[in-house]
Structure 1
């Protein structure tokens, strides 16, 4: 059964949000950060250590992901922790891991 265009495009706002999120995720470093986070909340310092680039570079990419409402953050003492703020994004990351990261 073929899907009709009106069955796919329910809401232009949803389509626009999906496009913005996918564009933000398409950068290799941002995608790496999102895969690292998964369902976890991780401090900036730990992200820097695990991803392997400068803190200023990580901070710029985290800022972009926050602007697109992909990430949330919380401050505890002198550390800022980031997490994926949308369950749908977590599902998407998990699906991408299954498709692209599984060893055959």
Structure 2
């Protein structure tokens, strides 16, 4: 019986994973994703939790949206953001685990 490699990724997911990792490579964008988690938050809540300017957060949200990492919608005067794909949350969770569990 052939042994299955748990790290084997389907070819179609490699490009998606690479694009996500590049977008998440900036510390501020990674922090935005961690703040969002599995919730949907208004931009101003993200600003207060991350601790930088609204303009700076908006620029990074635009990059994450462009890379299809997050999605946003308008509700009245608020822009609400959320992580688009639950697999991104799984990746964030794995990255925060102890190194010896990853290796």
TM-score (norm. length: structure 2): 0.83
Per the alignment, residue 73 of structure 2 pairs with 74
Measure the CA separation in 1 of the matches of 2:92 and 2:68.
15
CA RMSD between the two structures: 1.9
CA contact (8 A) 1:38 1:94 kept: no
Aligned residue pairs, count? 96
1:59-87 Cα distance to aligned partner (Å, 9 max, x none): 00000000111101121110001000101
Corresponding residue SS for 2:98? helix
Which residue of structure 2 lines up, in the alignment, with residue 43 of structure 1?
Answer: 42
What is the CA-CA distance between 1:99 and the residue it aligns to? Answer: 3.4
Aligned-pair CA distance for 1:40? 0.6
Normalising by structure 1, report the TM-score: 0.83
Structure 1 spans left out of the alignment, 5+ residues: none
| Superposed displacement of residue 92, structure 1 | 1.1
Q: 1:9 to 1:88 in 2, by over 3 A?
A: closer
Contact 1:74/1:81 (<8 A) preserved:
yes
Structure 2 stretches of 5 or more lacking a match?
Answer: none
Confirm or deny that 1:22 pairs with 2:21: yes
Structure 1 residues 1-104: aligned runs within 5 Å: 3=5, 8=8, 10-11=10-11, 13-99=12-98
